[in-house]
Structure 1
Amino acid sequence: MQKLISLLVLAMLALTVAGCQIVYKPDVQQGNLLDKKTVDQLKPGMTKHQVLVLMGTPSVSSPFEQSRWDYVSTYSRRGGAMKVRTFTLTFNNDTLVRTEGDFFAQDAQQLVKDSKKYNAGYPANETEGDKSTSPNDKKNDGGFGQGGNDGH
């Protein structure tokens, strides 16, 4: 009987903990992350190529409506309601004529700061890349180039 009671208490405790939403839900940002400096550099009269170099590839570029580019961004904080922002560029004959919409100007800066705090303890050195050499790599070059002889 005591085992049955302790089993019921354990089951009720497990159900209570499962309902508390202790499962981690990360912040999720998807789409184009635009910052204020970049958007401020957009000027009417810029070509599509100049805009592409400055802003990057748009999220939505329809083959049927080539005079409009949409930069779409979504952000959900800890599983909460999703915010959707759209920044639309309108072109006339490959020349920028109008910008409209909103973007994550302040939120983008905060996202960059948040991402840096997660990388603070990471030991990788981004400047070296994967092709760093050690002293042993220089001694053994795979057997080729030693005296102009390939072993025959």
Structure 2
Amino acid sequence: MQKLITLLVFALLAVSIAGCHVVYVPDVQQGNLLDKTMVDQLKPGMSKHQVLLLMGTPSVSTPFDQSRWDYVSTLQHRGGVINLRTFTLTFNNDTLVRTQGDFFAQDAQEMVKDSKKYHASYPVDETQGDKSKSPDEEKKDSGMDSGTPNPSGGQ
């Protein structure tokens, strides 16, 4: 009986804490996250391949209508209301003819800004860890091009 009462007290405590929103609920973003600069580069007359390279794969492309691509994104802030954003591209014979949608409302711009804060903020030198040397550097290190003998006995 003592264990049952203890279990009920802990269950009641857990439910009351969850009801007060003390428990962390993360933001949930799904779908395509488009950047305004990418969309500004879209021009009528671009091919599907050019659009694919610029924008990435669409969220929705139906096999029954190859002339329409939909980029869809949802954002749910801390378990609240789900915000839905759509951006539709229409093609005619593999050529972009029209764009439409509400993807770049103010909330979507906030999503893009928030996503950038998770990227590396420190300077990254991609060649820092590269141990390979060019043939000229190897000659210089071995002393072959300066005419001095190699310490290992080679010439």
TM-score, with length taken from structure 2: 0.65
Q: Which residue of 1 aligns with 2:73?
A: 73
Give yes or no for contact 1:34–1:105 (8 Å, CA) kept in 2. Answer: no
Question: Aligned partners of 2:14 and 2:84: how far apart in 1?
Answer: 36
Question: Aligned partners of 2:116 and 2:102: how far apart in 1?
Answer: 25
Alignment map for 1:1-152 (pairs within 5 Å): 15-104=15-104, 106-117=106-117, 128=126, 132=129
Structure 1 residue 102 displacement after superposition: 1.4
Structure 1 residue 111 displacement after superposition: 2.9
Q: Using a 3 Å threshold, how does the CA distance of structure 1 residues 25 and 15 change in structure 2: closer, same or farther? A: closer
Q: Using a 3 Å threshold, how does the CA distance of structure 1 residues 16 and 38 change in structure 2: closer, same or farther? A: same
SS at match of 1:107: helix
Structure 2: which amino acid aligns with 1:57? Answer: T
Structure 1: which amino acid aligns with 2:81? Answer: A
User: Structure 2 regions of 5+ residues with no counterpart?
Assistant: 132-155
CA deviation profile, 1:59-114 (whole Å, cap 9, x unmatched): 01111110110000001111101011111100000000111111145434433443
CA deviation profile, 1:23-42 (whole Å, cap 9, x unmatched): 11111111111121111111
User: Structure 1 regions of 5+ residues with no counterpart?
Assistant: 135-152
1 or 2 for the larger relative contact order (CA 8 Å, sep ≥6)? 1
TM-score, with length taken from structure 1: 0.66
Q: Using a 3 Å threshold, how does the CA distance of structure 1 residues 95 and 120 change in structure 2: closer, same or farther? A: closer
SS at match of 1:69: strand
Q: Using a 3 Å threshold, how does the CA distance of structure 1 residues 28 and 126 change in structure 2: closer, same or farther? A: farther
What RMSD in Å do the two structures reach over aligned CA positions? 3.2
Give yes or no for contact 1:35–1:105 (8 Å, CA) kept in 2. Answer: no
CA deviation profile, 1:17-58 (whole Å, cap 9, x unmatched): 342121111111111111211111111111001101110100
Identity %: 70
SS at match of 1:79: coil
Equivalenced residues, count: 128
Instruction: Choose 1 or 2 for highest CA Rg.
Output: 2
